[in-house]
Amino acid sequence: MKKINGGVTAAKGFKAAGIYAGIKKKKKDMALVYSAVPATVAGTFTTNVVKAAPVKWCQKVIKESETANAVVLNSGVANACTGMEGDKNNLLMAKAVAEYLNISENTVLTASTGVIGKQLPIDVIVHGIKNIIPDLKDSIEAGTMAAEAIMTTDTYLKQWAVEFELNGKTVTIGGMSKGSGMIHPNMATMLGVITTDAAISKELLSDAIRNDVKDSFNMISVDRDTSTNDSLIILANGLAGNEIINQKNEDYKIFCKALNKVTTELAKMMAADGEGATKLLEVQVTGTVTKEDAVMLSKSIITSNLVKSAVFGNDANWGRILCAMGYSGIEFNPDTVDLFIESETGKLQLVKDGMGTDYSEELATRILSSKEVKAIADVKLGDGKATAWGCDLTYDYVKINADYRS
């Protein structure tokens, strides 16, 4: 497997575009991803009871159709809490794409992100769809423009792609996502589109993505707020020409591994670019009885405002990490916990068997001053382990969210 340039247009047969339609002020705000060849489709969506109109639509399409051809996305307005008018506008968005591409509206997925509670400016969007069609291209640049168009408070675009071999055929998986705030995915991420030219059955594509998010998107948190719009969509058009993956064989494993590389890199970029964040915090928890215990412990640490503030201040305030583990709901013995911090500057043990070591505060601060820092907690009970990603809590997070709408 090797990393290659690009995102949603990296795989064969996928075109994309990103344009400024006029929903936001002077920033790209609409994206389209398209495969002329019908692509097997799967997705995972928010577990929030309050679901945006496009989420409900995608769930219906994916349930009823084997394949899809297009994903249309807008930023600026989330089309959530918009009632029947929201559903109607969402359908108009899908229909406009279907009409211009001469496909069925039931093969067009939709995704929206932005302010909750506002209706989509549907005329602007339909006009935008008309304008975006001629821009559809299979170039890396076209994929990049799409990734840019789905950004909200993100400070950089997120895309990643890998290439690997399946029985002599080159297969590609690429994806784009956006994150920044209201990021605590539960079954999916804010918005993500993955494209691949692999040939794979719908059942296995669905299994693959559902399993994958448990270790990738569902392991990141910016602010513990699970959005109303979380959507992760994967399209597989089979153009790589590999023998179709329809059982959980070696090919499936290779596919899942490559998929996980793309999703994990996108997820880490989202965590690192959390609203106001100055650094990426990776938390590894090992030695738990079950993997689920490690997941709960690592997520409890990554979501603690006190831990996140201490990381912002480069303060090795390890008591807060043990405290966050303690209220995670998982049973463990505090008196056997070991805790380390690590970055490019080095690695340091802060806690041995539940008590502070005689570590150098000065070295600890230097380690924590890196752009990417790790905390590693070993509870020494078993073989369970998990990794979660988050970011620090900063003045800018508060600033961004105290005047998001203005």
Q: What are the φ and ψ backbone dihedral angles of 258, each rounded to 5 degrees?
A: -65, -40
State which residue, 168 or 402, has the beta carbon closest to its own copies.
Answer: 402
Beta bridge partners of 33: 16, 71
CB 75 within 8 A of CB 42: no
Q: What are the φ and ψ backbone dihedral angles of 18, each rounded to 5 degrees?
A: -140, 130
CB hemisphere CA count around 136 (13 angstroms): 21
Pick from 64, 335, 344, 358 the residue near its own copies by CB under 8 A.
335
367 binds its own copies (CB under 8 A): no
State which residue, 285 or 351, has the beta carbon closest to its own copies.
Answer: 351
378 binds its own copies (CB under 8 A): no
Q: CB under 8 A: which stretch of 48-56, 138-146, 170-178, 369-377 binds its own copies?
A: 48-56
CB 18 within 8 A of CB 148: yes
190 binds its own copies (CB under 8 A): no
327 binds its own copies (CB under 8 A): yes
Question: DSSP assignment of 74-108, as one string?
Answer: EEEE---S-HHHHHHHHHHHHHHHHHHHTS-GGGE
397 binds its own copies (CB under 8 A): yes
304 binds its own copies (CB under 8 A): yes
Please count the residues of this chain forming the interface with its own copies, following the rule CB under 8 A.
67
Q: What are the φ and ψ backbone dihedral angles of 47, each rounded to 5 degrees?
A: -95, 0
CB of 94 to its own copies, least distance (A): 21
401 assigned to a ligand binding site: yes
326 binds its own copies (CB under 8 A): yes
User: CA-CA distances (angstroms) from residue 376 to 9, 125, 263, 299, 386?
Assistant: 36, 46, 22, 13, 10
CB 125 within 8 A of CB 30: yes
Q: CB under 8 A: which stretch of 54-62, 236-244, 282-290, 311-319 binds its own copies?
A: 311-319
Give the separation between CA 358 and CA 61, rounded to whole angstroms: 58
Give the separation between CA 233 and CA 217, rounded to whole angstroms: 12
371 binds its own copies (CB under 8 A): no
CB of 350 to its own copies, least distance (A): 9
CB hemisphere CA count around 181 (13 angstroms): 21
Measuring CA to CA, which residue among 213, 253, 235, 215 is closest to residue 71?
A: 235
270 binds its own copies (CB under 8 A): no
394 binds its own copies (CB under 8 A): yes
Alpha helix (H) residue ranges in 111-196? 122-132, 140-149
Assigned token pair, 96: 């406009």
CB of 72 to its own copies, least distance (A): 22
* Active-site residue, selected from the candidate residues 44, 172, 189, 226: 189
44 binds its own copies (CB under 8 A): no
189 assigned to a ligand binding site: yes
User: CA-CA distances (angstroms) from residue 360 to 146, 353, 357, 365, 366?
Assistant: 47, 18, 9, 9, 10
393 binds its own copies (CB under 8 A): yes
406 assigned to a ligand binding site: yes
283 binds its own copies (CB under 8 A): no
Q: CB under 8 A: which stretch of 26-34, 263-271, 287-295, 351-359 binds its own copies?
A: 351-359
Pick from 22, 241, 356, 382 the residue near its own copies by CB under 8 A.
356
For this structure, is 9 an active site residue? Answer: no
398 binds its own copies (CB under 8 A): yes
State which residue, 64 or 403, has the beta carbon closest to its own copies.
Answer: 403
Hey, which bits of 103-255 come out as E strands?
A: 108-115, 158-166, 169-178, 191-196, 231-236
The DSSP secondary-structure symbol of 336 reads: G
56 binds its own copies (CB under 8 A): no
Write the binding mask 78 to 117 for its own copies: x where contact by CB under 8 A, - elsewhere. x-xxxx-------------------------------xxx
Residues acting as catalytic residues: 189
- Residues lying near its own copies in the complex (CB under 8 A): 47-51, 78, 80-83, 115-118, 181-182, 184, 186, 223-228, 303-306, 309-310, 312-313, 315, 317-320, 322-328, 330-332, 334-335, 351, 353-356, 393-395, 397-406
